[in-house]
A and B are shown apart, each in its own frame.
Chain A
């Protein structure tokens, strides 16, 4: 078992190295000159050349690459050309915000997805199923930014259910002491119910939007997997013994339909962390790394952008490695030791 774990972690490490290499070359191809942006609109050619030299931007590509890998080995992501701040610190300080939003959204996506998917499977081809199908189509076809704006106008401005989109806490609250980095959890740990409630009302709307949209793919997979499991030979065996519908649903249906869900969660995590998150953070002034990435891209901030891509890549690899272990636990037929 220990050998298997070591092997998988080795593979994960290789994947991360792959991410690092790819990131370097893709960001090399980006148009625009980071040095010119950094120097500002009125800089002279000399000043731009100076900056270029300071950041090593006019070194030959192999030299830049070696330099980049060396820094990376020391977990040094370089400095932002925008404000000269170390990229690692900027990302670290924003990371917990992204993680709080992303994990909450992921949780919502899975709970909503499994619940609706199973309901649709049980009431297959009946009203409940039809309604769920409509939900899936809408969630798949809706653009994040549009539904977010609609939600902000109605739920925030008109009805006041959620806080204004002003980041993790509304005006007048200060962040709770840092324990986990998740405001809601930290406030609860400090016994500060007022702040916890306020943080929750700020968190919930963006998380619901992200999670709701991401749940569509989970619903589809759970529905078809549950239907397949309930029509399987082993579910038929259970019916031949006279087991109750509930017993068959949970022990034959749901238990076996969770396998493809685990695979899918990796994809959903990718969407939540790297796709939808960037847009939602913009709209809700959420101080996470998505907003940082957006600003970096808009400003040709080479090092900041690289840092962001690498961090997301590493998180993605880690999530998928964890899912692989979860999968081999959930499905005894999958043997990680044999998998290559």
Chain B
């Protein structure tokens, strides 16, 4: 096994009141690999995702463990050592965008921030054409129109495309996707999943994909971590998890989801396209 892109060791997350939300979690994502975290509400999967970018809500903190990206440690217990080169897309994309700013202004804010962080000059018209390009790259056919809209004037699927465009513009080596298609129409959901697949394949980005939906996980991931009440119950390849589940809870999840198993033996590469 080559060195993993993301490596999480012994991650524990708890509230200020002392409630443990995640216990001693080990996880890894290989370069360009899509790894799923699946579990019911309250299993700690979203908290795990948020903790990697230092986005835990107030009153919740990492209590132990460490994480590294590209071999560089960025999380050491409660301390964020550096910003990992990762970006995130969220559940409910419409709420994830500022309601009082136009899409164009929000992308422009990000591009200007990126230019300034990189110490290079920034020109408004150049940023505008980059924004148009970005939106095109996520399959938005009328980017000029979308740039002038507010999030509430766009569909959830369109806003998620915008979020993906913004997340990709950071040129991350890891994308964290927290239930990115929950709440979207089934057809839109399929389009967004397809977009995520092609985008990360194109840029060679690794993905940590959080979902409660076994069907989505089966479509998207090469490896799956099954979580329950803050514990990691099973971490294995999709074929193993779906066809030879070792943990009784995984079996329950599968039974509840109906037949969502991917055809056994289909290679990961074929599914990732």
Residues of A that sit less than 8 Å from B by CB: 231-234, 236-243, 247, 251-252, 255-256, 259, 330-333
Could you tell me the distance between the alpha carbons of A236 and B113 in the complex, rounded to whole angstroms? Answer: 16
Q: A233-B90, A237-B163, A259-B100 are in contact. List 12 more A-B contacts (CB 8 A).
A: A231-B57, A234-B95, A234-B96, A236-B55, A239-B55, A241-B110, A251-B98, A251-B101, A330-B100, A331-B99, A332-B152, A333-B99
Please state if B98 and A256 are interface contacts (CB–CB under 8 Å): yes
Q: B96, A233: Cβ atoms under 8 Å? A: yes
Q: Are A241 and B98 in contact (CB under 8 A)?
A: no
Contacts of B150 in A (CB 8 A): 332-333
- Tell me if B99 and A243 are in contact (CB < 8 A): no
B116 vs chain A, min Cβ distance (A)? 10
CA distance A242 to B170 in the complex (A): 10
Interface size class of B (residues with CB under 8 A): 20 to 34
The proximity string for B residues 72-91 relative to A, scoring 1 for CB distances below 8 Å and 0 otherwise, is: 00000000000100011010
Cβ contacts A to B, 7 pairs, < 8 Å: A231-B58, A237-B96, A241-B87, A247-B109, A247-B113, A252-B98, A255-B98
Q: Check A242/B152 contact, CB under 8 A, given A236-B90, A256-B99, A256-B100.
A: no
Residue of A nearest to B92 (CB): A233
Q: Is B166 at the interface (CB under 8 A from chain A)?
A: yes
Expressed in whole angstroms, the minimum distance between the Cβ of B150 and any Cβ of chain A is 5
B215: Cβ under 8 A from any A Cβ: no
Binary interface encoding of chain B residues 91-113 relative to chain A, with 1 for a CB under 8 A from any of its CBs, else 0: 01001111111100000011001
Q: Footprint of A on B, CB under 8 Å?
A: 53-55, 57-58, 83, 87-88, 90, 92, 95-102, 109-110, 113, 117, 150, 152, 163, 166, 170
Interchain nearest-CB distance for B55 vs A (Å): 6
Question: Contact between B53 and A240 (Cβ–Cβ < 8 Å)?
Answer: yes
> Does more than half of chain B's interface fall in helix, strand or loop, or is it mixed?
loop
With A243-B113, A332-B150, A333-B150 in contact, do A237 and B97 touch (Cβ < 8 Å)?
A: yes
A236–B99 touching, CB < 8 Å: no
The CA-CA distance from A89 to B163 in the complex, in Å, is: 61
Secondary structure type dominating chain A contacts: helix
The 7 A-B residue pairs with the shortest CB-CB distance, nearest first, are A233-B95, A234-B98, A332-B150, A240-B88, A233-B96, A237-B96, A333-B152
CB closest residue in chain A, given B50: A236
Q: Are B109 and A239 interface neighbours, CB within 8 A?
A: no
Complex Cα–Cα for A325 and B166 (A): 32
CA distance A273 to B157 in the complex (A): 48
B57–A332 CB distance below 8 A: no
A256–B100 Cα gap in the complex (Å)?
A: 7
- Compute how far the CA of A236 lies from the CA of B96 in the bound complex, rounded to whole angstroms: 8
CB-contact partner of B83 in A231, A237, A242, A251, under 8 A: A242
Do A255 and B96 contact each other (CB < 8 Å), given the known contacts A233-B90, A236-B90, A332-B150?
A: no
A76 CB to nearest chain B CB (Å): 46
Q: Name B113's contact: one of A234, A241, A332 (CB within 8 Å).
A: A241
Residue of A nearest to B58 (CB): A231
In Å, the complex CA distance between A241 and B170 comes to 8
**Bound: A338/B57 CA distance, A:** 36
B87 touches A240 (CB 8 A): yes
When A231-B58, A241-B110 are in contact, do A255 and B90 touch as well, CB less than 8 Å?
A: no
Could you tell me the distance in whole angstroms from the C-beta of A149 to the nearest C-beta in chain B?
43
Residues of chain A within 8 A of B57, CB atoms compared:
231
CB neighbours (8 Å) of A240 from chain B are 53, 55, 87-88
Q: How far, in angstroms, from A241 to B88 measured CA to CA in the complex?
A: 8
Chain A neighbourhood of B99, CB < 8 A: 234, 256, 331-333
Q: How far is the CA of A330 from the CA of B150 in the complex (A)?
A: 13
Bound: A120/B62 CA distance, A: 26
Residues of B within 8 A of A331 (CB): 99-100
Q: How far is it, in angstroms, between the C-alpha of A238 and the C-alpha of B170 when the chains are bound?
A: 13
Given contacts A256-B100, A332-B150, A333-B152, contact A251 B109 (CB under 8 A): yes
In the complex, what residues of A have CB within 8 A of residue B113's CB? 241-243, 247
A331 vs B101: C-alpha distance in the bound complex, in angstroms?
9
Q: Which residues of A contact B96 (CB under 8 A)?
A: 233-234, 236-237
Please indicate the chain B residues that have their CB under 8 angstroms from the CB of A255 in the complex: 98, 100-101
The complex places the Cα of A239 from the Cα of B92 at a distance, in Å, of 17
What is the distance, in angstroms, from A114's C-beta to the closest C-beta of chain B? 16
Question: With A and B bound together, what is the CA distance between A234 and B110 in angstroms?
Answer: 13
Q: Which residue of A lies closest to B150 (CB)?
A: A332
Contact of B100 among A239, A241, A332 (CB under 8 A): A332
Q: How far is the CB of A2 from chain B (nearest CB, A)?
A: 22
Using Cβ atoms and an 8 Å threshold, which residues of chain A touch B55?
A: 236, 239-240
| Cα of A242 to Cα of B54 in the assembled complex, Å | 10
Q: Which residue of A lies closest to B163 (CB)?
A: A237
List, in ascending order, chain B residues with CB within 8 A of A233's CB. Answer: 90, 92, 95-96
Q: How far is the CA of A239 from the CA of B113 in the complex (A)?
A: 12
CB proximity of A334 to chain B, nearest CB, Å: 10
**CA–CA, A332 and B170, complex, Å:** 28
In the assembled complex, the CB of B52 is this many whole angstroms from the nearest CB of chain A, namely 10
Question: What is the chain A residue whose CB lies nearest that of B114?
Answer: A241
Task: For A238, list chain B residues within 8 Å (CB).
Answer: 98
